[in-house]
Structure 1
Amino acid sequence: MKKRIRLIALDMDGTTFNSRKEITNRTRRTIAEAVERGIQVFPATGRPKSYLPQEIMSIPGVHYASTSNGASIIDMNKEEPLYEDLIPAERMPDIIRRIKDLPVIIELFYKGACYCDRSTLPVIEQILQERPSVQNGQAPEIYEDGIFDRLLQDPFPVEKVHLIFSDLKIRKEIMDFYQKENILDVTSAFAENLELTSKTATKSNALLRLAGILGISQEETMAIGDSFNDLDMLGAAGTSVAMGNAEPEIKETADLITKTNDEDGVAWAIEKYAF
């Protein structure tokens, strides 16, 4: 007997978006039909609020989102987040001191947007030239002077620290350090990146918290994803669906496997397992 699904969490990149960074008409129609059937559908993404795709958020009835890997839960009808789980201000100086002089792209997600210290522009340009595949097609970052100095002298909490590496040896060193320290959640969406959030800011916690807010049981939730930063969310959902293009480890842990993101895998999964 098919489970009743009342809440669906959708990863964005590599899942809802195809490889051309598009959300197809079929996927939009299926999400809209799910909403019409009374199912809450929400993006569960590593992106900040400013990068949420209007192709989905403009669908009537889709107004919740989990952003920055679960650091923020948003009701688009309200100014303030429903819930936040930020990297504490007191942790930020140590993080900045460790990474600010490395040859990495450093993106800081806070207040729903993505910020870069203007001093890092030469490094950003160099890495994008060396590894053009890491360009994500999202909205431009906000470049400001002195962000690092502010975080060192008068720190403030941050949703997520997103790092993109050209040198994968440096990436491994940073990943190993923070995994050993065990003070932050460390995950990754692709081979060249790392994503640092509060230890308890995860897509899984955001899924379960939003389900609780909406009065929906864990058994009535579904999650669809493709990457390592979806792994905990897939483990928490009542029904977990891995994309056909997902990493092998993701497929092994999921309850079900759908088609790839270039074959409308999200639409196919919702139609087959939620309707």
Structure 2
Amino acid sequence: MIKLIASDLDETLLSTDRTVSLKNREYIQKARDKGVKFVCATGRGYSSIQTTLEEIGSKDMEGEYTISYNGGVITENKDNRLIHFEGLDFDTAEKLFFNGLKYDVCIHVYTLETVWIYNIFDGEIDYLNGRMAFTAFDDKNLDFLKGQEIIKVLYVNTDRAYLNQIEQDMVHMTEDLDVSYSSNRYLEFNKKGVNKGAAMHILGNLLGIRKEEMAAVGDNYNDLSMIRAAGLGAGVANTVETMKPECDVILETTNDEDAIADLIRQYVL
């Protein structure tokens, strides 16, 4: 019996208009009525998804949880209470930033309170509009962030092959990092061992929920750790093709076709 569903947001739970469909909301509530925890698991920060949490009825709710920053943070939704945190040390974050300066990329640096973005471009502004707030900066170093908790760094380019080449160039410096891709535009770096799957198990242990009682659903490589770690690992129909063989099931519906409702109807209810 499934007791916890961990769901990615962008291109999975959220429709292209960045909202949760009425049918998805209905079935999430049906699952919740049966005692199933529905956990948003996102690469974004928890503060940026409050509208989504409100849409699904779990904003500021005690006993409801969120996995954010690709697993770097777990919060209870009530007062966004921090349960678990694992970030990058400053030296590692700074090395990633300096390395990014060599490439044609936009660079995000995530702290608990702010997403700092270097070299932002119009296409990225359009993509982030309605998803999360950010602060652009043009410093050539991260000295202004010394003493702050840094959770992850990512590079942005809409050419996936270009990002793949960057990852290959960086093999010498990523041994102690978790590297993943998302939204077909992001190359992401977290602390080694920090990913959505690890966070899902930390939360499961806190709630007394076993792997076999977990389902996870996503569409891209930053979701793969939780898809592999769950008793049922599902991909939406729009999952990147090369990742589909890694999933236990591929849904017949996309994020614009109520895929989460489809998952809950078939495998939870």
TM range (shorter): 0.7 to 0.9
The 5 Å alignment of 1:28-177 reads 28-57=25-54, 59-60=57-58, 63-78=64-79, 80-100=81-101, 102-116=103-117, 120=118, 123-125=119-121, 128-129=122-123, 134-135=127-128, 137-143=130-136, 146=139, 148-150=141-143, 154=146, 156-165=148-157, 171-177=163-169
Structure 2: any 5+ residue segments left out of the alignment?
none
Q: Which residue in the other structure is 1:245 paired with?
A: 238
Deviation at residue 226 of structure 1 after TM alignment:
0.9
Residues 247 and 167 of structure 1: CA distance in aligned 2, closer, same or farther (over 3 Å): closer
- Asked if the contact 1:186/1:195 (under 8 Å) is kept, the reply is yes
Give the TM-score taking structure 1 as reference length: 0.85
Residue 273 (structure 1) aligned with residue 267 (structure 2): yes
Deviations 1:86-110 (A, max 9, x none): 1122312322221246432111111
The runs of 4+ residues in structure 1 deviating greater than 6 Å are none
Residues 29 and 156 of structure 1: CA distance in aligned 2, closer, same or farther (over 3 Å): same
- Asked if the contact 2:178/2:191 (under 8 Å) is kept, the reply is yes
- Asked if the contact 1:85/1:198 (under 8 Å) is kept, the reply is yes
Deviations 1:159-184 (A, max 9, x none): 11122125666533431133443121
Structure 1: any 5+ residue segments left out of the alignment?
none
Deviations 1:90-140 (A, max 9, x none): 312322221246432111111143122xxx4xx323xx35x7875564133
State the number of aligned residues: 263
Instruction: Percent identity, please.
Output: 25
The CA distance in 1 between the partners of 2:52 and 2:161, in whole Å, is 37
Of the structure 1 ranges 77-86 and 27-36, higher mean CA displacement relative to structure 2 is found in 77-86
The CA distance in 2 between the partners of 1:162 and 1:193, in whole Å, is 6
Residue type at the aligned position of 2:17 = R
Give the TM-score taking structure 2 as reference length: 0.87
Residue 203 (structure 1) aligned with residue 204 (structure 2): no
**Secondary structure class of the residue paired with 2:78:** coil
Residues 219 and 136 of structure 1: CA distance in aligned 2, closer, same or farther (over 3 Å): farther
Residues 63 and 222 of structure 1: CA distance in aligned 2, closer, same or farther (over 3 Å): same
The CA distance in 1 between the partners of 2:182 and 2:264, in whole Å, is 23
Kindly report the root-mean-square deviation, in angstroms, between the aligned alpha carbons of the 2 structures: 2.5
Residue 216 (structure 1) aligned with residue 209 (structure 2): yes
The CA distance in 2 between the partners of 1:255 and 1:9, in whole Å, is 15
Residue type at the aligned position of 1:124 = I
